[in-house]
Structures are given as structure tokens and as C-alpha cells.
Structure 1
């Protein structure tokens, strides 16, 4: 029973992350009206890192208490425990910095791409990582079942119906977001490698700190951010920083732990559906029959991708 509940819980975490990210497309678009792209990415990332510090402190106290109790009861294998602790710390730092570099590149390409294209196109092109992830995964020795490949095909059809209009053209913004999709694919695979080796919240905190610092350098050099402008963009920045960064990316790291990265990318691709729905609710955009059909096919693809997982376990 427990083995079946763990993948479901992980899937729900990833689904919640996709919902938060889908709404964040609106926040990113509105935020660019007040501040530059690098400034927005830097502030939201640093805010996301700060939000996670209280959680790390609370969990650190519990872990230190458990460690002290264990050492009091046994002195055997202390050297092995020290080596293991050093290895975990090394994996945490390297993993956090690696994830942060990938996130910095991907999020900034996306941020500037949204400026030159529509939210619907950005959502679709970003979600192309559902195809890029399994292709890259093949070169890394990660196999996918026929059910998952069928789900990938269904998801692509659903995304096409949902986001692509009759006049689809590859412009400057589309190319930037396409590069973003490739970088997010690498980000997903890097998380897949490091999430089993390190604490998810700490890993997420380090990646945001890294992303914020790296984004802040070009922001200071080229955009010269003003505090008054950041204050005017407080609402989209708070949502993007606390919810999209602090909450959603942490949900991704925790939810993706021990999960097939292709299945994870399929669930996360639902952000494109949510972005269109958010535009409908928050910006008054209407959904056509074709877009509704795309949503239905997307959800069917997610269900299909989950079935092999449960059967295999």
C-alpha cells in the first residue's frame, strides 16, 4: 500500500508546482512592465532563497537532536558517519550550485522570451521539455516504456491544440523560449541526479541563492535597478519569489525524488494549460473549443504516464 502512495504523493507535489508556475507566467509578464528581466529574476530568486531559511533551521534542529541521540547510544562506525556526512555536504553544495546555474540560464531566457512573444506561445514552447527530456535521457541510459512515449505524443497534441494559433511563427521571443525549454530539460535531469543525494529544501535554497547572485550581476551592470521600481512590482515579484520559487521549485525537487524524469516532465508540462486558464481568469481571455480539447488530452496523457509506474511497482 505504501509503495503505491509514494508515487501519488510525488505526482501531486509536481502537479501543484505546475499550477503555481502556470499562474507565474502572468506574474512574469506583468513584472516586466516595471523592472528589467535580470532584475526580476534576481529579486524573485533571492526572495525564494530567504523564504526557505526558516524551514531549514527548523529541520536542522530536529536532525541535530536525532544525531545527538544516535551518538549517545553508539560510538561504532563514527568515522564512516563522518565520511558520509562530508560526502552529503559535497553533493548538496555541488548539486545546489549546478541546479542554480541551470535555473539562472533557463529562467532568464524565459523571462526575456515572454517579453517578445505571447503567454500562450511561451507556455507551449517551454513545455517542449517533455520531448527533450526523454531524448537526452536516452543518451544517459534512462529507458522509457511505450506507455510514456505514447503519453509524450498525446501531450504534444494537447499542447498544440491548447496554445498554437493558426498564425504560428518563430520570432525572437519564440527562439529565446525554445532555448529556455532545452535548459529546463537539463535542469530536470540535474535535479534527477542530485535530489536523492541531498536534502530537497537545502538544495532548493542553494539553487535560488546561486540563481539570484548570477542574475544580479547583469542586472547591476546593464539595468541599474531602482528600489522604487521594484516596489511598484511588489505583487508579481512576491508571487514569483515566494510561490513560484520558494514553494514550487521545492515541490519539484521533493516530488521528483526517485521518479522517472520523463514522467515528472509530463506532469510539470501542465503549467502550459494552467497559464492559459490563468490568462482566461485573470486577464479575461476566452478558451475556445480547441483549447478545451487540448486540456482534456493533456490530462489524459498524465494519467497514461502514471499507469506503467504503478504496474511496475
Structure 2
């Protein structure tokens, strides 16, 4: 696979994730957020399971089986995923697909901020204006300029915290284990089981509701959870990390486009400005570190007179 083909595959991943906001919104008409999340993540785990089994056997033949600590790490990732997915799903009931897509993207600049606070990794200077800009963009997008911040907006924005922690931890733990499919399948299964157990306690669970929401559940379970994550893992073997981050952040644009085409959602002038500001900040936090790297390389390679 060439770098260009990998970037195309990552664009498909972003399209699937962005369009999934529409399916998540429509699925709420028939089932509760916990039940929806539980079923779709168990479906996603089933999709990745064959690859996880092959990986398990490969690690066994290589004499590198996963340890008990690895299991706890996977469980922790599943817990963070449960918090992020459930909070996002609850919020989608009370906000638009466009708002949900852009507010979820707050996790992109939040990841390096948490890396600095929790792991002592020094953040690039561009992180701070990007993080502030994302907050201002979310303020404009959610209608806060009219002092009317919706409950759904707060839920979706709050979900960015566990999502950011998940992104931060999965990068450290999955790389050390060398088992991306086992990590994916395990965390999906844990997220699905926890959400489903909570659904039986807190929501009405009816088979008729699951049948009525079958298409949204299947779409988000098979494509958004299972296929898109697997495609991301495959593509990032051949794509530059900076390219992947920028392309995947475009899920916010696809969410807005799908909300416009499929649900007839429209943004006012302030909302459009908020969208543009958030996208600019997402790109800023990814591109500015590259500018410094390229400048240093140019200085090192330029012959002195």
C-alpha cells in the first residue's frame, strides 16, 4: 500500500466516523443510549475478534503472551471508552449532529495538554492557542453567544475528556503490547458489556426497540467501531502520523456535511465561524510542530559558507 492509498483509506475512516453521528442520532428514537452503546460495541468486538484470535496465536508462537497487567490496561481502556461513548451518546439525544461532531473534536488539542499534565511531556506552544480557540469555537457553535448552552452540548463536550485520556493511553499501552487487534477487541467487549449491564439497570430494554434500531446499530457497530478502527490500524502502518491525525480530524467536517445532507441541519453565521475556528485550531496543533521540524532540518542540511 502506498502513502497515497493509506491517506485515502484514512479519509474513508473519517467519513465513516462522521456519518456515524447521523446513525447515532436516529437510533435514539427506539432505544436508550446505554443499550445502543452496549450492542454496537459488542458487534464491533465480534468484527475484530477473528483478527484478535490470529494475533493471540502469533504472540503465543513468538513466546510473548500478554500479561495480567496487560489485561488490566485493556480493561482501563475499555472503561475510558465506556465513559466517552456513553456521554457522547447521551448528549446526541439533545443536540444536533453538526454540534456533536465538532464538540467531540475538542479531544484533538486536549490530548497534548493531558500529556503535559499527566506524563510531563512538554507540549508545543501551538497547543495553548489551539485549545483556547476550540473552546471559543464550541462557544459559538453551541449557541452560547445567545446564553443558551444546551444540555446535549455539555454532555458531548464532556465526553472529550475520557476520549482524550483514551487516545493518550492507548498509544502507550498498545505499542508496548504489540497487539493492536487484541487491544481493540478487548476494549470493545468491555465497553459493550459495561454499557449493556448499565442499560438493564437504568433503561427499559425491549427486543422490539433493538429491532427497530437495527440499521443504526449495525452501521455504527460494524462500520464505525469494527471496520473503521481496523482500517485505521492498517493505514497508519503506511501513512505519516501527522497526515493520519489531520485526516482523521476531518470526521468533524463529514459530520456537519452528513447533518446538512441527511437531516437538513443548518448553521447560522456564528455557527459557521465556530466551525471554521475549531477546524483551524485542530490543524494548527498538528501542523505547527512540523514547521519547526522542517526548519531545523533545512538549517542542518544547508551548507555553511
The two structures have a TM-score, normalised by structure 1, of 0.75
Q: 1:251 to 1:144 in 2, by over 3 A?
A: farther
* Alpha-carbon offset, residue 91 of structure 1: 5.5
- For the 8 Å contact 2:109–2:285, the answer to whether it is kept is no
- For the 8 Å contact 1:28–1:236, the answer to whether it is kept is yes
- For the 8 Å contact 1:161–1:291, the answer to whether it is kept is no
Q: Which of 174, 193, 209 lines up with 1:213 in the alignment?
A: 193
Q: In the alignment, what sits opposite 1:291?
A: 272
Instruction: Tell whether 2:53 aligns with 1:113.
Output: no
Q: In the alignment, what sits opposite 2:302?
A: none
Q: Which of 248, 257, 263 lines up with 2:228 in the alignment?
A: 248
Q: Secondary structure at the match of 1:116?
A: coil
* Structure 2 residue runs without a partner (length 5+): 298-305
* Alpha-carbon offset, residue 249 of structure 1: 3.3
* Alpha-carbon offset, residue 39 of structure 1: 0.5
Query: Which piece of structure 1 moves more, 26-35 or 48-57?
Result: 48-57
> Deviations 1:14-52 (Å, cap 9, x if unpaired)?
544332221111111100001111100000010000111
Instruction: Tell whether 2:121 aligns with 1:142.
Output: yes
Instruction: Tell whether 2:251 aligns with 1:271.
Output: yes
- For the 8 Å contact 1:18–1:268, the answer to whether it is kept is yes
Q: Whole-Å Cα distance in 2 between the matches of residues 17 and 155 of structure 1? A: 26
Q: In the alignment, what sits opposite 1:235?
A: 215
Q: Whole-Å Cα distance in 1 between the matches of residues 9 and 166 of structure 2? A: 17
> Deviations 1:127-161 (Å, cap 9, x if unpaired)?
22123222211121223334x53883697399559
Q: Whole-Å Cα distance in 2 between the matches of residues 262 and 144 of structure 1? A: 15
Q: In the alignment, what sits opposite 1:281?
A: 261
Query: Which piece of structure 1 moves more, 8-17 or 137-146?
Result: 8-17
Q: Whole-Å Cα distance in 1 between the matches of residues 148 and 247 of structure 2? A: 27
Q: Which of 172, 182, 185 lines up with 2:161 in the alignment?
A: 182
Q: Which of 165, 180, 183 lines up with 1:200 in the alignment?
A: 180
Q: 1:297 to 1:214 in 2, by over 3 A?
A: closer
Q: Whole-Å Cα distance in 2 between the matches of residues 280 and 138 of structure 1? A: 37
Q: Whole-Å Cα distance in 2 between the matches of residues 157 and 263 of structure 1? A: 24
Q: Kindly report which structure 2 residues correspond to 1:24-103, keeping only aligned pairs within 5 A, or say none.
A: 24-59=20-55, 63=58, 67=61, 82=63, 85-86=64-65, 88-90=66-68, 92-103=70-81
Q: Whole-Å Cα distance in 2 between the matches of residues 288 and 308 of structure 1? A: 33
Q: Secondary structure at the match of 1:275?
A: helix
* Alpha-carbon offset, residue 203 of structure 1: 0.7
* Structure 1 residue runs without a partner (length 5+): 68-80
* RMSD of equivalent CA atoms: 4.0
Q: In the alignment, what sits opposite 1:126?
A: 104
Q: Secondary structure at the match of 2:175?
A: coil
The two structures have a TM-score, normalised by structure 2, of 0.77
